[in-house]
């Protein structure tokens, strides 16, 4: 079964300094038909104005992945980590028993565009932890690069859940196929550009949910950046 979620069907909130689209119920946006997809709980498509951001706030028992599409985000947390995340970097913060952090756009002139991803952990009460790794465009060009997994496979960041997250860049004749293991399902999010996913043309912000399918095919991309979540 293939289900398409169009970009304009997502929840939306514009706070001036923050313009967000919500793939799943979040904050004031509530849609009982889109609460989660397996362990995938949040994909927030955020645009943060220059010099603005989220002040220090808490999280608990959540695997949080930050994927920057343009600009940068400056992160500081109660574990003592501090970093500026840019395109190509994948940041993973496991909130566990509790962590506090802040996120700001450090540029005085440029907007930041990022995806904030939350995944429910396999268990609660773990110690909080942090990890960040860089993946070049070449790593993702014309292929699906594993960037997060439960065991750190292929030098991906480690998340505490049976989920694999792949990222790929596709343009022109570039394409990729991936078999889908029986019993698993895929959530495919087109972060930007256009591409055909299993023959369906998607625009930036669109998503496709694949259940009881045997293969994923990505082709005919135009400046496309694709995230693929493989999960139960």
Place of tokens 């256009």: 194
pTM of the model: 0.98
In this predicted structure, what is the pLDDT of residue 11? 98
Q: Tens digits of per-residue pLDDT, 125-140?
A: 999 999 999 999 999 9
7 contacts 203 by C-beta, under 8 angstroms: yes
How does DSSP classify residue 37? B
Q: What number of residues does the chain have?
A: 232
Cβ neighbors of 54 (< 8 A, separation 6 or more) are 102, 103, 104
HSE toward the beta carbon, residue 138, CA cutoff 13 A: 0
125 contacts 116 by C-beta, under 8 angstroms: no
Provide the H-helix boundaries in the chain: 137-140
Q: Tens digits of per-residue pLDDT, 61-104?
A: 999 999 999 999 999 999 999 999 999 999 999 999 999 999 99
In this predicted structure, what is the pLDDT of residue 93? 98
- CATH at residue 118: 2.60.120.10
How does DSSP classify residue 171? -
Total tally of structural domains belonging to the chain: 1
Distance CA 195, CA 69 (A): 17
Q: Mean pLDDT of residues grouped by 10 in the chain (232 residues)?
A: 98 98 98 98 98 98 98 98 98 98 98 98 98 98 98 98 98 98 98 98 98 98 98 96
The pairing of strands 18-22 and 11-14 is: antiparallel
Domain span holding position 6 = 2-231
In this predicted structure, what is the pLDDT of residue 86? 98
């Amino acid at each position: 079964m293939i289900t398409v979620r169009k970009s304009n069907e997502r929840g939306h909130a514009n706070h001036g300094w923050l313009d967000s689209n919500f793939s799943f119920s979040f904050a004031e946006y509530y849609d009982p038909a889109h609460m989660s997809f397996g362990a995938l709980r949040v994909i927030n498509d955020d645009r943060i104005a220059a010099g603005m951001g989220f002040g220090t706030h808490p999280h608990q028992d959540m695997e949080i992945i930050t994927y920057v599409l343009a600009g940068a985000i400056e992160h500081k947390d109660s574990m003592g980590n501090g970093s500026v995340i840019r395109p190509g970097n994948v940041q993973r913060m496991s909130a566990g028993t509790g962590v506090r952090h802040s996120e700001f756009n450090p540029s005085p002139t440029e907007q930041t565009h990022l995806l904030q991803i939350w995944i429910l952990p396999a268990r609660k009460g773990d110690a909080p932890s942090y990890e960040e790794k860089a993946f070049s465009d070449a790593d993702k060009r014309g292929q699906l690069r594993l960037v997060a997994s439960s065991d750190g496979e292929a030098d991906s960041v480690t998340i505490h859940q049976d989920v694999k997250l792949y990222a790929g860049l596709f343009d022109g004749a570039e394409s990729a196929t991936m078999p889908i293991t029986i019993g698993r399902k895929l959530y495919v999010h087109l972060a930007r550009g256009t591409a055909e996913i299993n023959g369906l043309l998607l625009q930036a912000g669109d998503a496709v949910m694949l259940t009881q399918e045997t293969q994923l095919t990505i082709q005919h991309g135009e400046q496309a950046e694709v995230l693929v979540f493989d999960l139960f």
